Structure 1
Amino acid sequence: MHRRRTRAARRLAARHRRGQVRRDRAARTRRGRAADGAKACTSHLNGKAVNPCAVPVGDLRPTDEVTTIEGLADTVDEDLHPMQQAWLDHDVVQCGYCQPGQIMAAVALVRRVAAEGREITDDDLDGLRNICRCGTYVRIREAIRAGAEQM
């Protein structure tokens, strides 16, 4: 007997099939259109969020530590960093263009707030200036809070 899948079951199966695509979208550095514009290229320089397109190479020292989205999981010795996993769990990714920069900015924010000995606030989240063309800001905020709990 042939059963028809419900719409929800078809969507769930499609999400699983797209899982690797979603993971890939959340794991590559993006190059923005203008220096320091969308912040899609956000990376970490000595643990702080920076936009590499706005940092002159001559300003870097041999002792500086640069982490891009590609190396973020290595900082926790896992396949995915907890923030990357939160992005997948909260289905944040749509087009995926801004996600690496969003994740890197979120990780830097969570680390800074934790170092200050406090929890993430709405004011902290409002301070993130990364642009999402798809407007997934509600899910981004949810993912940041969830990722922070796992970091």
Structure 2
Amino acid sequence: MGNVTASIIAVLGTLLGSCITHVFQQRSAARADRVNHQDQRRQEQLSASSAFIGALMEYRRNLYFRWRLKQNQAPTEQQARERADSYRLRSAAEQTMVRMHLVTQDATLIGLAERALNAPDLLRHAVDITDLVARRDEVERIHNEFINVVARRLR
């Protein structure tokens, strides 16, 4: 009888050990999945934010250049090309902002993104080169604010 009891205890111990191992493996796998999902989401947010700020920088550069062309009375054809390019660049910035909306639900970040998207329009209304430089600096400050918030959130 002692051998049977010992065998039953051994079998139950093995089953209990297997069950406990299974539970720990499930928890470990779930934790790894969560970490992987968070890292993937972070990478998507970083990619979307980087694309957005890149598009904004191109748009900002274009508007600055357009203002300079207008002040220097560049040929009408060249000004028209740059104007068409600014529409394309604004559209590209809007598209990348939509991508940001899709990968983040952060209302503060979206608000800053919308502000950053509209900031380059300040350049259009500059009255002279001093005003243009001051407006450019303000646009850059707004863009840097967006970049800094993204960097803090994605650390």
Bigger CA radius of gyration? 2
* TM-score under structure 2 length normalisation: 0.28
More helix by share: 2
* TM-score under structure 1 length normalisation: 0.29
